[in-house]
Copies of this chain bind each other. A is one copy, B any other.
């Protein structure tokens, strides 16, 4: 039997990695991941064969992981956060689907036993650091229009505004994409107050973590980079200050009972 673990290792800090992720990596002979992720993981990766491909080669990375596993090497395909959320897991199953449809020529992939290990995603790390921003209904929207047409993304942001969801923006900007976040802000300003709290969380849970809480009308793509999560509260989210400590929470509606 051949085995592929598809593993999310959480936002960065070792104390937020699920033990199952460590067990999966320890059981593997081959790791497919960006080098940076493996550095954060430390000694559990020692002695493993490390495979990497340049950024942007996501399909190649998923293929490589399936191929290695199909060759009988127990393999872990690794990403930070939750590998099921805007990450590599979906590509593995998309390739499997193509094979099942006869559009790939890798019948050996179908014998690979696949196990996905979830992880804590950036939105959860961010929300917990500032209190309870995801306390009520929320959504996530990726602002990357490399694979999704901007028209679809725009429709989702409008819907999120209409539904008054707390919104976490993944891939808010990149070197080549700098205007989408400001467009998203302008759409949301039609639906919720200018004073709505926004979390800008950079390098969450890592050594150089930086958290900033601003108002929605202060949100600007120039203050955000690709290592940043942007979460926008809903119309009821509250930004509170207790001495030197700031919090953001989204109430569930208990106030009437307090």
Q: Assess whether B16 is in contact with A16, with CB atoms less than 8 Å apart.
A: no
Write 24 A-B pairs (CB below 8 A) sorted by A numbering.
A10-B18, A13-B20, A14-B19, A17-B18, A58-B254, A82-B120, A82-B124, A84-B133, A85-B135, A90-B249, A90-B251, A93-B131, A98-B255, A104-B258, A117-B128, A137-B140, A137-B156, A138-B140, A139-B160, A155-B163, A159-B159, A159-B162, A159-B165, A160-B163
Q: What residues of B have a CB within 8 angstroms of the CB of A98 in the complex?
A: 255, 258
- A117 vs B155: C-alpha distance when bound (angstroms): 33
Copies, count: 2
Q: Which of A119, A138, A141, A258 has the most CB of B within 10 A?
A: A258
Q: What residues of B have a CB within 8 angstroms of the CB of A95 in the complex?
A: 258
Instruction: Report how many residues on chain A are interfacial, defined by Cβ distance under 8 Å.
Output: 81
Q: Assess whether A135 is in contact with B82, with CB atoms less than 8 Å apart.
A: no
Q: What residues of B have a CB within 8 angstroms of the CB of A124 in the complex?
A: 82, 84-85, 118-119, 121
